Every structure is written in C-alpha cells, then in structure tokens.
Amino acid sequence: MNGASTAVPSTADAFTSAMEKAAEMTRYLESRDAFAATHSELEAFVEDEGRELLRRMVQGHHELRAIAERPVRVEGADRVLRTFRRPSSRPVVSIVGRVDVARIAYQGRDIDSLHPMDGALNLPPELYSHAVRRRAAEHAAVRRSTKCRRR
C-alpha cells in the first residue's frame, strides 16, 4: 500500500451493489426472455449490463480505499504544510463509466488543496481517466490514418 492507505477494510458492503448486479444479470440470462433472444441481443445485454457491473466493482474498490485512507503529513511542493483535513470527493470517468473517488483533502489558508489519494491512484487532474484519454487518442489516430489513406 502507499502513504494514503494503510489498512485493508472489510469488503462486506463495498461490493454489495456489484453482487446485486451480477445476480440480476444471472436471473435474466436464465430467463425465458434470454432464451428467446438472439446471440446479438445477448451480446448487447452482456456488454451493456456487464459494463455497469464492472463500474460497480471499480466503485466498490474506491469505497474500500476511502475507508482505508489514513491521515498523513502533507507538505506541498511550495514547502507549506497542509494541516487542515476535510472529506472530499471527485468524479472520474473511466472506461467502465463514471465513478466517485472519496479522499481526504489537505488544506491551508490561501493555498491549493492537496489530495494524496489522487497521487496514489495516479489520477489525472481532469475528469477523464488515463485509459479513457488513451482510447480517445487511439480512436482519433485510427480515424486520421483512415482519412489519410482515402486521399
């Protein structure tokens, strides 16, 4: 673990939502409606609902990390110690959907807040995760390459 997290909490509640989603998907896949579906329809169901299952898994992990986060001494690059702590959160759009990352904000008077959990997770300062940004860049590169070949 890193400085932002020092304890591994119980997983009892963090993944309840994901387990409920998995059970819901299983019920559908065992249902008459699923047996009447085409393969394409089943693929679409699993892709859409499976993405939501994965999003809930990632969200559950972030909830565990928030519970495990412990106060640390935080000094910025400006060499100013941040002594005031408060709960904070931020959204992140990941490849499986939007998740909320709860973390501790370390603050001081008239200086920027710092969030060690953001560093521990290697989160970009923007809304979109590195994986989303990479996929967007790859998609743009493929589109550009395809357009260049057509000319």
pLDDT, one tens digit per residue, over 66-121 is 999 999 999 999 999 999 999 999 999 999 999 999 999 999 999 999 999 999 99
* Burial per residue of 103-141, b for 16 or more beta-carbon CB atoms within 10 angstroms, e otherwise: bbbbbbeeeebbbbbbebbebeeeeebeebeeeeeeeee
| CA nearest to 131, candidates 79, 28, 74, 58 | 58
Q: Record the pTM.
A: 0.84
